[in-house]
Amino acid sequence: MERQTINRVVIAGGGTAGWVTAASLSHNLGPALDITLVESEAIGTIGVGEATIPTHTSFHAMLGINEAEFMRATHATFKLGIQFEGWKDKGESYIHSFGQVGKHTWMAPFHHLWLHARDLGIEGDFEDYCLELKAAKADKFFTSDKQKPLNYAYHLDAVAYAKYLRGFSEKKGVKRVEGKIQNVLQYAESGNIKAVELENGALIEGDLFIDCTGFNGLLIEKTLKTGYDDWRHWLPMDSAYAVQTQKTGPAIPYTRAIAHENGWRWRIPLQHRVGNGFVFTSEKLSNDDAREQFENALEGEALTEPRLIRFITGRRKKVWNKNCVALGLSSGFLEPLESTSIHLFQRGVTELVKHFPYHGITPALADLYNDKISKEVEQIRDFLILHYKVTQRDDSEFWRERQAMDIPDTLAARLSLFEENAHAYNGCDELFLLDSWIQVMFGQGIEPKGYHAIGQLFPKDRLENALKSQREKVASTLAQLPSHQEFIDQYCS
């Protein structure tokens, strides 16, 4: 007989997704739940996933995490954006920062004014209107309890982060069981999951199962056969090499995403080392060639052997199926170009907390949840495709194919609005806001044909002074900020 009340939660898997889930459920719903997490040291974790986006700071604030303590434990640095090198064209680069560029008005965002000013020759550099972008370029950073002039995220050590959250969750009552799940038991009638069985024969029963078993998808796919939408026709990357290297200088406050002929490479600066990866498509590059190109490009001495990771870009057809919710890599994967995976399971568990099915799972509840998560994933997918589609690179078949590829209708509509009239917009509940879309579209070299008439409402000298004063404000704040490395040394000591 299945129980109606749902309070026994079993989290299968203890990578970042498993421990983020355990931390949030225990912190927010602890007294109402009995939470067990099963993980297998023998299987281990993926061990990558070290760049985040600003939602990470609000997730931590919700958990009441002390920032300096977290940063010491995970060797974290601050992140103000991503520098895209060679994406628009070879030898060119731009930063997608987490900041707002200029002051928006209700009638039109800032870039419409700026485009008009550019036609008058009084515009100033677009980046001079964004503090985060300027601070990233100048390697500067500052935050405090009282003053947060910058919008930021973190770079962190993935293995240390899972360990840190394990300590946090266990203090809040999460029970950890070590062992390999070898069997998943289901109720005959409903197909719901009843228990997981470990190699040593132990049975762990539950009412709600969270699949955090990574690419294994042990519950959501191997057991429930949920199905997968394959998005490789839009995002053909299917492989990555990852390696850690020694630091070669002070930690910079941004991730680097460096385009290559058949893929791209990341550099994520931590306090004690740098995380590196090379993302490529096996259709265009053999493993050996990819590894050689990656090793030749590495800066700093390698601390680990390059590790090959295979993936299929896409998403699970449902992330909530029966009494199982998939969070993390078991729910799908989008390449880490905009560092969105950790955010997605933080969002996933936050939605689960909000809609926790204490009195039983109904199809309407699961549908609502699936709908919310799938819309967000699609919007992120479109944002990633944008980086490839609007490249001006034509130095390899790979980039020429990206320019020529079909794109989702949703992205085509957005692109045409920007190309025609410089309109960039946000739908409800979108992760990437207007400023992100604008920075990437301008960064990749899109020149809108028209723009809003707002600029024409101001006399030229008034517009010129207003723009100058915005730039001066950014410059004077920037001048007061310490260097990122200096700030970290003092903040984390």
Binding site for ligand FAD (CB under 6 A): 13-18, 38-40, 43-46, 48-52, 158, 180-181, 212-214, 216, 218, 240, 242, 277, 309, 311, 328-330, 336, 339, 341-342
- Closest to ligand FAD by CB, 214 vs 455, is 214
Q: Measure the CA–CA gap between 116 and 453, rounded to whole angstroms.
A: 8
Reduced to 3 states (helix: H, G, I; strand: E, B; else coil), residue 195 is strand
Which residues 6+ apart lie within 8 Å of 122 measured at CB?
460, 463, 464, 467
| Closest distance of CB 184 from ligand FAD, Å | 9
Q: Which residues pair with 276 in a beta bridge?
A: 243, 267
In the residue annotation, 79 being an active-site residue is answered as yes
Q: What is the 3-state secondary structure (H, E, C) of 322-361?
A: CCEEECHHHHEECCHHHCCHHHHHHHHHHHHHHCCCCCCC
First to last CA, the chain: 55
Residue 131 or 373 having the CB closest to ligand FAD? 373
Minimum distance of ligand FAD from residue 373's CB (angstroms): 14
Neighbours of 318 (CB within 10 A): 21
Smallest distance, Å, CB 46 to ligand FAD?
Answer: 4
Query: Is the Cα torsion angle 317, 319, 321, 327 positive or negative in sign?
Result: positive
Dist CA 389 CA 441 (whole Å): 11
Tell how far CA 29 is from the center of its chain: 25
Task: State CA 94 to chain mean position distance.
Answer: 19
| Closer residue to ligand FAD in complex, CB, 236/277 | 277
- Crossing angle between the packed helical segments 67-74 and 55-63, to the nearest 10 degrees: 110
DSSP run (H or E) holding 418: helix 409-421
CB of 253 to ligand FAD, least distance (A): 15
- Total residue length of the chain: 493
Q: Closer to ligand FAD at the Cβ: 131 or 220?
A: 220
Q: For residues 108 and 454, is the Cβ–Cβ distance under 8 A? A: yes
CB 2 within 8 A of CB 10: no
Least Cβ distance, residue 267 to ligand FAD (angstroms): 11
| 79, 140, 194, 389: the active-site residue | 79
Give min distance, CB of 136 to ligand FAD, in A: 17
Give 51 or 467: the residue with its C-beta nearer to ligand FAD.
Answer: 51
* Residue 455 marked in a binding site: no
Distance CA 121, CA 119 (A): 6
Closest approach, Cβ 345 to ligand FAD, in A, equals: 7
Our CB check for ligand FAD shows the closer of 178 and 397 to be: 178
CB of 48 to ligand FAD, least distance (A): 4
261 is in an annotated binding site: no
Q: Measure the CA angle with vertex 319, ends 314 and 225; round to 5°.
A: 80
For residues 287 and 392, which CB has a smaller minimum distance to ligand FAD in the complex? 287
Structure token digits, residue 130 = 């964004």
* Tokens encoding 157: 């050590």
Is 79 annotated to bind ligand? yes
Compute the CA torsion angle 378, 379, 384, 390 (nearest 10 deg).
110
| Residue 17 labeled ligand binder | yes
Is 14 assigned a ligand-binding role in the annotation? yes
Cα dihedral value 438, 442, 446, 451, nearest 10: 60
Min dist. Cβ of residue 98 to ligand FAD (A): 14
Q: Give the whole-angstrom CA distance, residue 479 versus residue 135.
A: 9
From the CB of residue 466, how many other CB atoms can be counted at a distance below 10 Å?
A: 14
- Of 220 and 240, nearer to ligand FAD (C-beta) is 240
Find out whether 329 is annotated in a ligand binding site: yes
Torsion sign, CA atoms 443, 446, 452, 457: positive
Please answer whether residues 315 and 205 qualify as being in contact, where contact means their C-beta atoms are separated by less than 8 angstroms: no
Listed residue (281, 96, 322) closest to 190, CA to CA:
322
Bind-site residues? 14-17, 79, 329, 338, 342
Bind-site residues for FAD? 14-17, 329, 342
Bind-site residues for L-tryptophan? 338
Active site residues: 79
